[in-house]
Chains A and B, each alone.
Chain A
Amino acid sequence: MQLDAKTPEGSLGEKWDNHRFSIPLVAPPNRRKFQVIVVGTGLAGAAAAATLGELGYNVKTFTYHDSNRRAHSIAAQGGINASKNYRNDGDSDYRLFYDTIKGGDYRSREANVYRLAQVSGEIIDQATAQGVPFGREYGGLLANRSFGGVQVSRTFYARGQTGQQLLLGAYQALARQIEAGTVTPFNRCEMLDLVVADGRAVGIVVRDLLTGEIGTHSAHAVVLATGGYSNVYFLSTNAKASNATAIWRAYRRGALFANPCFTQIHPTCIPQADEFQSKLTLMSESLRNDGRIWVPVQFDETRPAGQIPEDERDYYLERRYPAFGNLVPRDVASRAAKKEVDAGKGMGPMRNGVYLDFADAIGRLGRDTIEARYGNLFEMYERITGEDPYEVPMRIYPAPHYTMGGLWVDYDLMTTIPGLYTIGEANFSDHGANRLGASALMQGLADGYFILPNTIAAYLSEHLGTDPMPTDHPAFAAVVSEVEDRVQRLLSANGSRTVDWFHRELGKIVWEHCGMARSAVGLEKALVEIPVLEEEFFADVKIVGEGDSLNQTLEKAGRVADYFQLAELMCRDAVQREESCGGHFRVEYTTAEGEAKRNDDEFAFVAAWQFEGDGAEPCLVEEPLEFENVELKTRSYK
């Protein structure tokens, strides 16, 4: 199979314009003749559905939540990047593009990333016009803050609730279209499979979570906006229900899965406190603007932080990376924290955290300023840990947070299945091997508001005058029967262990071998352990209750069932990539100083995996990455 990214002609700055001009359009009176399915109503999905509705298409949205306002985009704290250059500090589309390519360790496509930078400013305009209450200066104009991996201030924010406010903006735009009748919402309704017929995506199979009824929906095109798969690790910063089922089922139906091993471990999360913990909570990266990260110089330090004198503290990021200091990119900060904790310098009851200290900032700026900037984050920290970060330093440790990998898409955001699009975190497109802070919201909204609604016309226009495939077509019946069998298989196991038990065990394997540090030996071990656990799961999982009503354990089991094979694919991809880049750190491939060592000669490609059937090894298809504008350098933040 040959992958065609469909990168448009022209210079970097002209590609998106050229492309928009060259793709066929659907004229306004014809748009209502098209039916589009959007699965997931987070930032990308809600933005896309609302915009498609405004354009005049008929849209159906699907979410397993009770309301379109609950997707996990809502939990993004710190901010959203845009190359507005309001600060006059040397920012530009090109710099945002360059920072993103470099931050991603040169494993993303130039053309896609440049387009992202180009539309970033429009996102801020759009959100502001919707009423998103971004932080303001006293003159009434928009404020900015800095984020890791860059030397400009380009991050817009709404206190520590930027994701919430942006999602509410998109949710409200979507609500308007629901009221207008262009969008029909299906809530508490989970996509369980994709229907492909005549070589294209024709619809989806869903389960109504209240009645258990398996239903079918057809459309001219299907858009997946179902987020990332960090929950494969069990302990992650994702919401409990965030899952990979939609993209995984699409993969099994023929969509290629790109760079599954590119996962982001976020450096500033509250460390695990005990065994039964259900999730990890992120503390916004924006805290690194004012907090200083340190560990004691002495091993197995037992004094409380306040009693450790200044000269017995190691501000290791400031020491190792003087140019960027505490604001190095996420992958670098995470690995550095791991190194300190592994060396026995971790603090806290489980000795699994490093300090993030605000004493200097409070001394310099006053408690009120710090409270205004981070008050809600400090409160959240205190609620969870019972410690007051105004008085004692926070304890932080890295945790799985974001997945750069996802379904392979071309420049139009279409997967290898014609008519199937993937947007937001669910695709692999823009972040390469590491995502910069405040870029997830930017990408989700760029895809949803500005890119997909334009590019989807190219495909739809080919189908003008055709009806969506009727749902009584045998292709639908075949998928429905497979879905019903899967549900039945889970219900009938009646074993002796809970779903969470299996999920936790799987998480331990993936975290150990495909987490912050990976090795061929470890990954091969995981590839043996995961299928064994999967087999045990299907034989021994216990689900009480029936399939014909609200059954939250059954929902969870279906999601966990799909993680086993995904975890395998992640490990397979990590074995194959014999280099260290971004969040993918192979212990065999490091510089003399222990930093990540890329191998551009052999691995400057997107690794896209094709499903070859159960029991068969998936096939690796490489999309070479061509860099015409940036020079591939060793990332240095010193």
Chain B
Amino acid sequence: MLANIGFGVLVVSFITSVYGIVASVIGIRKNSLAWVESARKAMQITFPLISIVALAIILLLVTGQYQVQYVYNVTSSTMPLYLKITALWGGQAGSLVFWSWLMSAFTTAVTLRKWDRDREFLPWVILVGLITLTFFLALIIFFENPFVRFWVSASGNQIIAMFPPEGAAPLIPADGRGLNPLLRHPGMVIHPPMLYLGFVSFVIPYAFGVAALITGRTDDRWIRITRRWTLVAWLFLSLGLVLGSRWAYDVLGWGGYWAWDPVENAAFMPWLTGTAFLHSVMIQEKRGLFKRWNMILIILTYVLVIFGTFLTRSGVLSSVHSFAQSAIGPMFFGFIALSMILSVWLLIWRWQILHSEGTMHSLLSREALFLLNNLLFMGILAVVFWGTVYPLISELFTGQKVTVGPAFYERSAGPLFAGLLLLMGIAPLSAWGHSTVKTLGKALWKPALAALAVVVAVFAGGVRNPWALMGFLFVALVVFITLFEYYRGVRARRHRTGENWLSALINLMGRNRRRYGGYIIHLGVVLMALGIIGIEMFQTETQGTIPPGGSLKLGPYEVTFNRLDIFDAADGRNVARATVLVSKDGRTLAELHPRRDLYIDTMQPMTIPGVRSTIEDDLYVLLVDWQPISSTGVTFKIYHNPLINWLWIGGFVFILGTLVAAWPDRDPQPVPVTARRGQVVPSSSSGD
């Protein structure tokens, strides 16, 4: 019954969505406000409708309706309630429903804003949003229906169908297969939703970009409207990436946080173009430059979002994320190709009116440095994209499968990341419009000297790796410059208003959230860079087999094996759990419990590390293998990961900065000021 209701509402959502497309096209052709309003209503109705669909699936999952194939595949009676709920996005069909639900929420939210000043954008935004939504709903209904059920025909054959064939009876399995072991983790609650939110919310700025192209209103209005949407999309995508890294570190048992896995790359690529876009739109807002480039960036971001979903969902590439594969790849491929062709056609059509309004005065101006920043982001994108798709190309043309592993990405993209770090330090000191070597040098020399002093101290401390020293130099430079920028602003405000330091800081940030939020983001990035330098350049490891009482040494640490317990858990796992003591200089620091979980139903092993974390480093212990204790003992692998926790701290700061930048401004008091470009601008520099 519930499955029938869910499927029925799903079909109604699809029909509503198709109607919205038709209504908006008629509204555009007839220039009819009534039809456009009808399309808007249709879009707004999709959200409650798809909410019912999602709710129906959740109820099926929670109540263990194993006759439904999706429920059977992703849940079992032993799973905790929170995992049963999150199993909504634990499989192919459910995750597409979840994607569509989030998409409908965002598109509905965007139609609720005031459109008085931007009425001409409305039908086109609705059209783009609904076409994307309709594509996903069509995939669900025709290829990945989450409500199909098991039946037994009169002849005893098992059938999977939405409705019972004639004479068939329901087939109800006693229990489900359960969620993929990799997904049975608290991270499942938040990591996939954040990534999906990041993906779907980038559809909004793309829709406005397309609307601007079609209507010919190519000033920076569409950018100002979508600035906060873009920041929110970027925030969610960043959160998804950071949480995914943490999940990998905690669960996948390889001692690292990022494996350049195709699906990780799939989420990283739109983040790269989105970040480039966030910087590049500032040039258009401030100087009226690079309108074409901004269009190209948002089109690329949208296409990469769909491409990312395609990579995750098609199973076309080998990945640790290959828990969600099916034959919907060609459909995605077709949609990506169609989106790309139409977007490029629009771009070519409007190429001439997308000319820049200003000129570039200096190669050291902030816009020139932002352009360089965009170039580096695109360079990294080229590396990541090519490394991700090359295995497909190779197999297609030579029949030979190849692997493009982390070594390729690190060697190719590493210098570009270093360049970005350096630019992050220099660009804030450069002025919009024009800067010279002299003025930039004058602003730079003090922070540079302080950063150099840090590097000298690090060198004196025994670090000799030249790449690490360069990394520390850039990190220190960005930190000093950013803090100096804060100091200058707070000092000026204090002098003007007489506020104390804290109030001056808060008010300064409150009055220009975009700028000072951006600086916090930069601080977050360099802290993350510190963690990455630590683990990439100073990670050490060892592996050995030891009997009870035996120990393994790694650097100053000693890991002593105490005992091994093997038992069956209530949720269908066979658990081998070791107890080890970590000591340093003869002093016991911690007791850790690395373990190996074997999910008996799928015979899939999971290696869960025991980790001792400090601000300085992590000691990460893996239980690799064990023999009967009387013979050889237990094999452990130990990683020493210096500075790794700065990666997570930096991630937190990064998100905080994005929240500050995206937070709605207080009501601005318009103060007419004559701007260079002959416009009247409000006192706040933020966008819409």
Do A and B pair up? The answer is no
